[in-house]
């Protein structure tokens, strides 16, 4: 295949790697690889296919070059990012946008295309000199399915390459089978850890940049190692997919996929759910006794008139803090097994075991962690005491290791039929634990678009601040918020059996300031939603939806938790607080005005009508409406 870069490609690859690349007969892949070989200037390039031999070679190189180290259990490894490279870099994660589109994206940390492109090209020039680069082929979603998005990763980090093989489906064979009309349609990711310091970590963090070009489906990520910044198919790909889905009429959402299991009825009901950080997303996806399909990102498509979803990923890049035998028994059990897991930014003790915050196991007083050689009480350059592990420390693991995986749904090329959508926020005094929306549009505008997460004085010094998080997706929405919201409405209304939408709030506090229910109460709220989908429970109306009746919750608490549920708790938890809801809707309006002044007027009109409806209810029933009192 003759391309502009054929000579340099051949000169930097073994004949075997070149054969793998040229066998694809894909000019766009060759041009992508050739351009960045010339520009980033690696000494050599290794091309991976789907073989176990190539996957093992990546594992071996990550160890031999010191990017990972073996733990006591030989199939487990540990990786450390730089002390100051421990989370997503929001300030330097930017969209590079053509001038004519810039105004609509300015609130989303966008930069003019030419300026951003020139900057990232300057930073990445010769950045791989002295290193080997790795080329990999993956699929977002199952391969050879209606959901598949092919992806090419070009990186100089063997740790990143290893992580990708755990987290995503290898898709070299999928690329081999692409039709001519499909060969230009794939996502591209170029990453470099950059110059490394004596610890093998990125040295030039001041030049850390993650620039997203959704117009051409390419992401440039330079001078970083933390997987949230470096692993292309994670949140970088999500931003590309959100824009692509908006253009093509499907959805990419920051959601888990799970199945509620009713053993008595031999029934499985698929739910998806979006929750801002620290609002219960992972714990809901992993409710004991239910089944999980995916924990983070879902694609939705209309397949023969049905609302169907796939888990985009093959593995879990999970926060490990507070994962312990009591609260997360399934995950904890797997982290104790000799199977392929990468721990990042935790402590490796003298016994070569991993230790993390909230593990429930006493950690040693010394070892190696993200700070370097560590001992209890050690302080960093700013005088801050360094903990055993970082609060954002992670584990990278195959999802199909979990006993509670729903294998049927996980492997389904046409996805699973979704019957319920959960949107969960965090507030202490407004939103009831579970409420059903009367229809899809109402659910998007009153449940999804109004999502908030409340801060506490213990963490941020300002109690009760509500951070807006529409669809729990604001960090990743890659085109104007109003248009994105309208696309959510249009998609749900386009299918025959539109899923029911429910809101969740696990964090209502009582008059004494304590949480009203246990962590496991979410199982009750889930199974009430399941019962509503299957027409098994009646409900009371509120100005914003439908809530459970007391007698049904009494039965569900007894059935699933073996607990009593008092009438006083019920009436407090499910009271409708009119002024609080009006304030919530006013905050939502202000946020949309700030983020997207071009938000369609019909969205604001809908919220205004909801506010007037609540005001009328307040005049008739008082500021707090007891369950069952409101008559629509």
User: Which helix (H) or strand (E) covers residue 111, if one does?
Assistant: strand 110-112
What's the rounded Cα separation, in Å, for the pair 221 and 230? Answer: 6
HSE of 150, CA atoms in CB hemisphere, 13 A: 22
What's the rounded Cα separation, in Å, for the pair 581 and 587? Answer: 10
Contacts of 631 (CB under 8 A, 6+ apart): 541
What's the rounded Cα separation, in Å, for the pair 353 and 367? Answer: 10
Residue 96's DSSP bridge partners are: 111
Is the CB of residue 37 less than 8 Å from the CB of residue 9?
yes
Residue 545's DSSP bridge partners are: 542
Six token digits for residue 428: 């202490």
Three-state secondary structure readout of 191-215: EECCCECCCCCECCHHHCEEEEECC
Torsion, CA 391, CA 396, CA 399, CA 402, rounded to 10: -70
Closest by Cα among 356, 343, 86 to 202? 86
Contacts of 565 (CB under 8 A, 6+ apart): 553, 554, 557, 558
Local structure of 602: helix, strand or coil: helix
What's the rounded Cα separation, in Å, for the pair 42 and 17? Answer: 15
Contacts of 428 (CB under 8 A, 6+ apart): 454, 464, 507, 508, 509
Question: Residues 48, 151, 252, 279: which is the catalytic one?
Answer: 279
Six token digits for residue 487: 């696309």
CA angle 547, 549, 550 (to 5 degrees): 125
Is the CB of residue 522 less than 8 Å from the CB of residue 280?
yes
Residue 76's DSSP bridge partners are: 341
What's the rounded Cα separation, in Å, for the pair 288 and 331? Answer: 11
137 burial type by CB count under 10 A (0-12 exposed, 13-18 middle, 19+ buried): buried
Respond yes or no: is residue 252 known to be catalytic: no
Closest by Cα among 629, 610, 241 to 443? 610
Is the CB of residue 399 less than 8 Å from the CB of residue 374?
no
Handedness of CA 399, 401, 402, 406 (dihedral sign): positive
177 burial type by CB count under 10 A (0-12 exposed, 13-18 middle, 19+ buried): exposed
The per-residue b/e assignment along 569-594, b for 16 or more CB within 10 angstroms, e otherwise, is: bbebbbbbbbebbbebbeebbebbee
Residue 153's DSSP bridge partners are: 136, 189
Give the β-pairing of 187-192 and 149-155: parallel
What's the rounded Cα separation, in Å, for the pair 293 and 259? Answer: 8
Give the residue numbers marked as catalytic: 279
């Amino acid at each position: 295949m003759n391309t502009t870069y054929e000579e340099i490609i051949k000169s930097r690859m073994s004949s075997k790697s070149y054969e793998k690349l040229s066998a694809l007969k894909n000019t766009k892949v060759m041009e992508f690889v050739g351009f960045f070989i010339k520009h980033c200037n690696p000494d050599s390039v290794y091309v991976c296919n789907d073989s176990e031999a190539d996957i093992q070679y990546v594992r071996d190189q990550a160890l031999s070059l010191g990017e990972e180290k073996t733990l006591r259990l030989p199939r487990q490894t540990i990786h450390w990012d730089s002390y100051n490279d421990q989370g997503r870099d929001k300030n330097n994660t930017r969209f590079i946008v053509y001038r004519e589109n810039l105004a609509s994206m300015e609130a989303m940390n966008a930069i003019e295309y030419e300026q951003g492109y020139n900057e990232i090209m300057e930073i990445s020039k010769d950045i791989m000199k002295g290193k080997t680069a790795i080329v990999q082929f993956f699929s977002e979603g199952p391969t050879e399915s209606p959901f598949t998005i092919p992806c090419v990763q070009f990186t100089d980090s063997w740790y990143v390459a290893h992580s990708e093989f755990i987290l995503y489906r290898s898709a070299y064979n999928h690329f081999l089978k692409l039709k001519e009309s499909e060969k230009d349609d794939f996502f591209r990711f170029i990453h470099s850890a950059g110059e490394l310091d004596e610890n093998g970590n990125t040295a030039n963090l001041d030049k850390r940049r993650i620039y997203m070009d959704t117009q051409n489906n390419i992401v440039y990520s330079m001078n970083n190692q933390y997987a949230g910044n470096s692993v292309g198919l994670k949140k970088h790909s999500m931003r590309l997919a959100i824009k692509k889905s908006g253009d093509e009429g499907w959805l990419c959402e920051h959601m888990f996929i799970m199945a509620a299991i009713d053993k008595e009825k031999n029934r499985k009901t698929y739910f998806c759910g979006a929750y801002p950080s620290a609002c219960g997303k992972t714990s809901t996806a992993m409710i004991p006794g239910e089944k999980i399909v995916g924990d983070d990102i879902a694609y939705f498509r209309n397949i023969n008139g049905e609302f169907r979803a796939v888990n985009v990923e093959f593995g879990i890049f999970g926060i490990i803090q507070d994962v312990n035998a009591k609260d997360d028994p399934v995950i904890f059990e797997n982290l104790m097994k000799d199977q392929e897991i990468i721990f990042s930014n935790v402590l490796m003790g003298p016994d070569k075991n991993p230790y993390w915050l909230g593990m429930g196991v006493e950690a040693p007083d010394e070892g190696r962690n993200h700070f370097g050689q560590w001992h209890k009480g050690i302080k960093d350059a700013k005088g801050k005491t360094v903990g055993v592990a970082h609060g954002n420390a992670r584990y990278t693991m195959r999802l199909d290791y979990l006993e509670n995986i729903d294998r049927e749904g996980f492997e389904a090329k046409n996805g699973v039929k979704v019957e319920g959508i959960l949107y969960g926020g965090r507030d202490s005094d407004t939103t009831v634990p579970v409420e059903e929306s009367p229809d899809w549009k109402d659910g998007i505008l009153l449940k999804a678009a109004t999502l908030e997460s409340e801060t506490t004085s213990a963490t941020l010094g300002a109690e009760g601040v509500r951070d807006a998080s529409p669809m729990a997706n604001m960090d990743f929405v890659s085109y104007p918020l109003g248009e994105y919201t309208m696309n959510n409405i249009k998609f749900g209304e386009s299918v025959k059996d539109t899923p029911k939408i429910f809101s969740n709030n696990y964090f209502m506090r009582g008059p004494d300031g304590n949480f009203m229910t246990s962590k496991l109460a979410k199982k009750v709220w889930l199974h009430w939603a399941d019962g509503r989908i299957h027409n098994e429970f009646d409900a009371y109306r509120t100005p914003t939806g439908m809530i459970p009746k007391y007698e049904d919750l009494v039965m569900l608490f007894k059935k699933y938790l073996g607990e009593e549920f008092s009438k006083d708790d019920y009436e407090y938890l499910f009271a409708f607080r009119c002024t609080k809801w009006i304030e919530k809707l006013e905050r939502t309006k202000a946020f949309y005005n700030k983020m997207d002044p071009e938000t369609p007027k019909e969205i604001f009109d809908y919220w205004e009508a909801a506010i007037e409806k609540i005001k009328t209810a307040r005049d008739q029933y008082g500021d707090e409406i007891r369950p069952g009192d409101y008559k629509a």
